[in-house]
Chain A
Amino acid sequence: MSTEGAGKVFFAEAIARALRESMERDPRVVILGQDVGRFGGAYREFAGLHARFGDERVRDMPVAEASMVGVGVGAAAAGLRPLVSITYMDFVTLGLDPLVNYGAKLRYKTGGQLAAPVVVKTTAGAKGQGVAHSQSLEAWLVGVAGLKVVAPSTPSDAYGLMLAALAEDGPVVYVDHKRLFPTAGELAHAPAPVPIGRALVRRSGGDVTIATHSYMCRVADAAADRLSAEGIDCEIVDLRTLWPLDVATVAASVARTGALLTLEEGQLACGIGAEVAFRVREEVGRMRVSRLGAARAPVSGNPRLEAATLPRADDVVAAVRRLIDAKANEP
């Protein structure tokens, strides 16, 4: 897909590169949203695109998310392939009507006459910005038939899932994370799209499976490093796509380990973990299982409260140990 050299890139660079290549290939791809133009995006993830493609294809919009999403969905229905940038996931709530009531239903309700190939890209997660700039609401969107939801955790997947999302014929919500933008990772010499609906085993281990996504993959990995020193080997499955969910990959791992810990930054109630755990249980039958997610509280911008609200590596270590102990206590 890409002809640029291989090597380490930051998360934002991977997104910008996927967008640039998609826009060069397909004139229908346009970018709409707040601060996407000369400013280049809140995290520089649109850097260089306005200079390369101009006002017509990279459009700054008023801070009015209902129209950002509505215009994007409508333009998609009429033949463009827009990416709509909603700076923070909290503000997706303002654009839910056109996304949920129109875009997600369009192909179905028109009997296949119309579709809405739009990508709503937004940034979830907490990094000191307070109760209305920190939420991870991806589980809400998974509950809407007609939406696909992806959440990359590495620059390589940020690139590959963006290419795949822009090639989809229906709406995709692309969820990145504030704490992933400072991270770097390898991008292959010829990086390719990452198929939607495929999880990936990030770390192999035989004792406990941790199913997680987005920034929590890094939290899981930090915990797994510590547990490894005590002789406990965790297998980390990065879900990457939250709908359609790759249950098979998680279930295959749990079939080996016999234990599943789900880990997410959002709320536990009706969360990603609940869905993963139940569906894996349907596949593998008997297993030990536990969930980790945010405390039932808003995510304060106060750093001490924020940290106490969200799952930390310490919590993951403790939860894995409990799953190991549960095995020892089995009859």
Chain B
Amino acid sequence: MDRRALLASMLAIRAFEDALAAHSDAGFQLYSSGEEAVAVGVCEALRPVDQLLSSGRSIGPALARGLDPGVVMAELLGRADGPCKGKGGRGHLAQPGAGFFGAHAVVGGNLTIAAGVALAMRMQRAGGIVACIFGDGACGSGALHETMNIAALWKLPLLLVCDDNGWSISTPREAALAARSPADLAAPFGIRAASVDGMDVLAVRDAAAALVAHVRGGAGPAFLVCDAERFSSHSTATRELRSPAAMDAVRARCPIQRLLRTLRDAGALDDAAFAAMERDAGEAAARALAFAERSPPTGVDEIGRDVD
């Protein structure tokens, strides 16, 4: 994917979330805005045969993985045409057939699962690797340490991606993790790690590609830490405690504006072309929303289906 395509991918996520947030029935959401470069850069390093797992902050990862925005929007709005028939929602969005094994809304809860998926894929000679995106809030959980231990012992084809937005809802990482950086956690297990500016999609892409090559080559797991920013509060149900000045500083790191500057400075994109890209992203989001609104609400008879 060239740099313009990476920009388009980030714009698509931003526009999708803006359209969802403006919807009268948006429901309970955790937005990825600000963290688009992490999902887009990591997915750029993956192949169709690979599987991606994410935390409950799933919209960016799912769209970056290439899921159809219309069916994703349908899932988020509780419609029958969502890949999970509207039963999983954002917290449990999944479409394994498209390489998105799924979100799981328990902090740290998808990590041991990802190790199991990696084990199964290797035993079945599926040829792919597994990437799991989780927040820095999961770094204090035993699940991460158990997962790193077993993944390193068994040399599992697993890329762990810490989307480090610095906050566990209201608790700053400095108050939640004794290690200086999440990347330091990998060292005792002999896991190769890298830290990048998570607002620089090109840096994320390059670091992810190097670690994916390591994992794909059979050398065992790898750990990528992306220093990112959350542009809104933890969720639509959560208060924002950061000051307006702090939020200005956060937004100044915008990954979309950053790549735009790079491309503009290189003479690869002018303002008119960028405006056209923004317009395209907005129209795609509007189409996704229209598709979701046409989709029937999930029927309550679904509570009796696929239970056991």
Cβ contacts under 8 Å, A82 to chain B: 116
A265 to B288, CA, bound (A): 55
Do the beta carbons of A78 and B106 come within 8 Å of each other? Answer: no
Query: Does B101 touch A at the CB level, under 8 Å?
Result: yes
A97 to B110, CA, bound (A): 10
| B interface residues, how many (CB within 8 angstroms) | 44
Q: Name 30 A/B residue pairs within 8 A (Cβ), A-sorted.
A: A56-B123, A64-B149, A66-B143, A67-B112, A70-B112, A70-B113, A70-B116, A70-B143, A71-B112, A71-B116, A74-B119, A75-B116, A75-B117, A77-B116, A78-B116, A79-B120, A80-B120, A97-B106, A101-B106, A102-B110, A107-B307, A108-B87, A109-B84, A110-B92, A111-B84, A111-B302, A112-B305, A112-B306, A113-B94, A114-B102
| Inter-chain pairs besides A109-B84, A112-B85, A145-B307, 20 sampled, C-beta below 8 Å | A67-B143, A67-B146, A74-B114, A78-B51, A78-B117, A79-B124, A98-B113, A102-B104, A102-B110, A108-B306, A109-B87, A110-B94, A111-B86, A111-B302, A111-B306, A112-B305, A113-B83, A113-B97, A114-B96, A114-B101
Cβ contacts under 8 Å, B96 to chain A: 110, 113-114
Cβ contacts under 8 Å, B85 to chain A: 111-112
**Which residues of A99-133 have CB atoms within 8 Å of chain B's CB atoms?**
101-102, 105, 107-114
CB distance from B70 to the nearest CB of A (A): 16
CB distance from B132 to the nearest CB of A (A): 10
**Nearest-CB residue, chain A, relative to B87:** A111
Cβ contacts under 8 Å, B121 to chain A: 78
CB distance from A104 to the nearest CB of B (A): 8
Do the beta carbons of B101 and A64 come within 8 Å of each other? Answer: no
CB distance from B138 to the nearest CB of A (A): 12
CB distance from B213 to the nearest CB of A (A): 22
**Which residues of B192-250 have CB atoms within 8 Å of chain A's CB atoms?**
none
A74 to B122, CA, bound (A): 13
From A72, A101, A107, A109, B109 is in contact (CB under 8 Å) with A101
Query: Does B111 touch A at the CB level, under 8 Å?
Result: yes
Do the beta carbons of A97 and B109 come within 8 Å of each other? Answer: yes
Do the beta carbons of B115 and A67 come within 8 Å of each other? Answer: yes
CB distance from A265 to the nearest CB of B (A): 25
Query: Does B177 touch A at the CB level, under 8 Å?
Result: no
Query: Does B188 touch A at the CB level, under 8 Å?
Result: no
Do the beta carbons of A102 and B147 come within 8 Å of each other? Answer: no
From B86, B88, B116, B308, A74 is in contact (CB under 8 Å) with B116
Q: 7 smallest A-B Cβ distances: which pairs? A: A74-B116, A70-B112, A111-B85, A78-B120, A74-B113, A67-B146, A75-B116
Do the beta carbons of A148 and B109 come within 8 Å of each other? Answer: no
A26 to B153, CA, bound (A): 26
**Nearest-CB residue, chain B, relative to A172:** B308
Query: Does B54 touch A at the CB level, under 8 Å?
Result: no
Interface residues of B (CB under 8 A from A): 51, 82-88, 92, 94-97, 101-102, 104, 106, 109-121, 123-124, 142-143, 146-147, 149-150, 153, 302, 305-308
A148 to B307, CA, bound (A): 11
Cβ contacts under 8 Å, A145 to chain B: 307-308
A105 to B51, CA, bound (A): 20
Do the beta carbons of B308 and A67 come within 8 Å of each other? Answer: no
Do the beta carbons of B306 and A107 come within 8 Å of each other? Answer: yes
Cβ contacts under 8 Å, B104 to chain A: 101-102
Do the beta carbons of B112 and A66 come within 8 Å of each other? Answer: yes
From A80, A98, A111, B112 is in contact (CB under 8 Å) with A98
**Which residues of A130-165 have CB atoms within 8 Å of chain B's CB atoms?**
145-148
Contact mask A216-227 → B, CB, 8 Å, 1/0?
A: 000000000000
Cβ contacts under 8 Å, B123 to chain A: 30, 56, 75, 80
Cβ contacts under 8 Å, A148 to chain B: 308
From A71, A80, A107, A111, B115 is in contact (CB under 8 Å) with A71
Cβ contacts under 8 Å, A317 to chain B: none
CB distance from A108 to the nearest CB of B (A): 5
From A73, A107, A111, B116 is in contact (CB under 8 Å) with A73
A97 to B150, CA, bound (A): 18
Query: Does A61 touch B at the CB level, under 8 Å?
Result: yes
CB distance from B1 to the nearest CB of A (A): 27
A101 to B305, CA, bound (A): 18
Query: Does A76 touch B at the CB level, under 8 Å?
Result: yes
Cβ contacts under 8 Å, B51 to chain A: 78
**Nearest-CB residue, chain A, relative to B104:** A102
**Which residues of A9-31 have CB atoms within 8 Å of chain B's CB atoms?**
30
Known A-B contacts A64-B149, A70-B113, A80-B123; A113 and B95 likewise in contact (beta carbons under 8 Å): yes
From A66, A72, A112, B146 is in contact (CB under 8 Å) with A66
Cβ contacts under 8 Å, A105 to chain B: 92
CB distance from B113 to the nearest CB of A (A): 4
CB distance from A70 to the nearest CB of B (A): 2
Cβ contacts under 8 Å, A108 to chain B: 87, 305-307
Cβ contacts under 8 Å, A66 to chain B: 112, 142-143, 146
Query: Does A7 touch B at the CB level, under 8 Å?
Result: no
Query: Does A170 touch B at the CB level, under 8 Å?
Result: yes
Cβ contacts under 8 Å, B308 to chain A: 107, 145-148, 170
A66 to B88, CA, bound (A): 23
Query: Does A247 touch B at the CB level, under 8 Å?
Result: no
**Nearest-CB residue, chain A, relative to B82:** A111
Cβ contacts under 8 Å, A5 to chain B: none
A98 to B149, CA, bound (A): 17
**Nearest-CB residue, chain B, relative to A84:** B116
Quick one: which of B118, B123, B143 has the most chain A CB within 10 A?
B123
Do the beta carbons of B94 and A61 come within 8 Å of each other? Answer: no
